Structure 1
Amino acid sequence: MSQGVTYADLRFVRTPPERSQEKGTWNQLDQIQMPPSVPHPSAPLPDPSEGELTYENVQGPPGQEERTPTATEGRKESDRRTWYANLALLAACLCLLTTAIGLGVQYWQVSRQLQQANEDGSALARRIGSKEGSLAQAQVQLEEAKEELHSTNETLRSCWAAGNRTQEKLRQANESLMLTQQEKEKLQQQLDQTMKSLEEAKSCQEIGCCPHGWNLFRWKCLWISNNTKSWGDSWAACKRESSQLLVLKPWSAKQLWGATFIDKRTQYWIGLEGKWYKKWVDGTNYEGTENIGTCRSRGNCVQMSNRALQWCGCSTKARYICEKNAQ
């Protein structure tokens, strides 16, 4: 059609007879899905008996009259639609063929992959079985090694305990040996001093080194009082004789108590005082190891009685012992 022509009361004629023959062909294409923009070839044409279709205000070339489609044009239209349907059917077949080929190729690939995976799985299963056997053997060896290690640890602990006991015994033996060595050295010093005192005493007895009435005991001249005094009066009496109260050094009360000039039935003041600070009358500290007891009259002055020492009251009356060096 040309532009500018106006159609009013445009009518479509009934379907030509030729199209009824092609109806069976178009029915076969009903199942082919066409795009929405293209009209389906099997869509029926309008029937003129159903009424008239009027297009209003449609402009076209002036002066052109209505015309009715001819049979030739209907056949051309039918051939064109048939060609489109065959082309669409061919495209659908090609698409289906391509899809089938693709699915076949994918099936073949998946089958090959599955077969390869099965082969790999079998090999992996064999390797896993071999590894499990090796692991079980290693587990047995590990258990044996653990038992052997436990036995070795027990033996090592026993040896370590025995070594510790031996070390302790050795330490105790070394301490005993050191103490014995110290005692030996101390005894040797005492023996040397005793021998020296003995030699000096022999010479002193020969020349008479102690005043009359004094007794020689280990290079000291001792005087035993016959009367009793308090500790302070005894200290003063010894001073008047140019001497001092007895200082028990380097010997002990037991050693002095065995001398023949000591009366075993009495008590004697000696030169030790101060229960808390323990000082001899010569100003030196008490370093003895004897246990000093307590008499009935408790105090801060020391008496010698029955081979032992006692703290007594300083005002108590008792005999005393004075000392001075032998000349």
Structure 2
Amino acid sequence: MSQGNDVTYADLSFGKSPPKKPLQEEPNEGELAYENVWGPGAKEVEEEREEEEEEEEEEAPGRGKAAKGWKGWTKRTALVAVATGLFLLATTVGLGVRYWQVSGQLHRASQSHAAHSAALAQRSSAQEEILDRTKGQLQQTKEELSSTREALRKSQEVAKKTQQQLQGLEEELRVANRSLEDLKQENDEKEALLRQQVGSCPSGWKLFRWKCFWISTEAKDWWRSQGDCQKKRSQLAILKKPWDTREFWDEVIVKNSLQNSEYWVGLIRTRLQQKHAYVFLWADGSHYEGTEPLNKNYSPDYVKIRHGNLAQDWWHEYRYICEMAASSIALPEPNRHNMQY
């Protein structure tokens, strides 16, 4: 419709056919675009419009030139605007892509930072727990050390008191030793006086305290040894208080350089007929009251002295020791049967 109206208008206004364009002129971009949009008919209408414009330019030369300049400036402005828009669009797209990339990097960095912060928080929590346990152990160690110091202080006090007590006991021991030396000296004096009163021992006999002892050179069993002593008007040695077996051994056996180490003495395990019990009796019929570890409930029955100690033995043969009082008065012969009660 618009195309037909334009053609009719051309006929009424000008009444002549439009002039042909020179062949050497090429259509510009606007003409090509217009032709592409409106088709072949649109081209004729465009030509008629140009002729009208030329006629109008002839009538008003100044006005035509101004309109043509304004049209060119408008096209350039449009092209610049399109180019600017495309540039801005490309810039916006580039900035959007860059923003997306930077946002992704920031997001990944934020996740990494959060993971690192969580790991640091967990490690810090573990270190705090370890520190708390260490503090607890340190406190416990301090308490134990304090208790140990207190116990050590008390031990030192006890040790100091013990040392003082020990020093007191040592002083008492020195006093006792001095008293013992005094008693021994007094006893020696009394023994010397007793020797003057009771006389001396027969030849071959050894004086100890106020008794005379004879040591055999041959070995016999206990009963034969006792019989031989009786023949000498004596008896097997009786080592009861106030004599100590160790003192007798040192004074009589060791000092006389006797090599034998075992001797029969006058002590025997026998049974009491009335009580049906076994006891140890000395050769004079008195009961044994010493502290030597002798067993009265089991055999053997005979007692010997060995290295200064009393010991039980069987029917073996040993040397023997006889004793008698240090006087000229003979002892009555002991009867072996009198030892049975």
Place the TM-score, normalised by the shorter chain, in its bin.
Answer: 0.3 to 0.5
TM-score, normalisation: structure 2: 0.38
TM-score, normalisation: structure 1: 0.39
More helix by share: 2
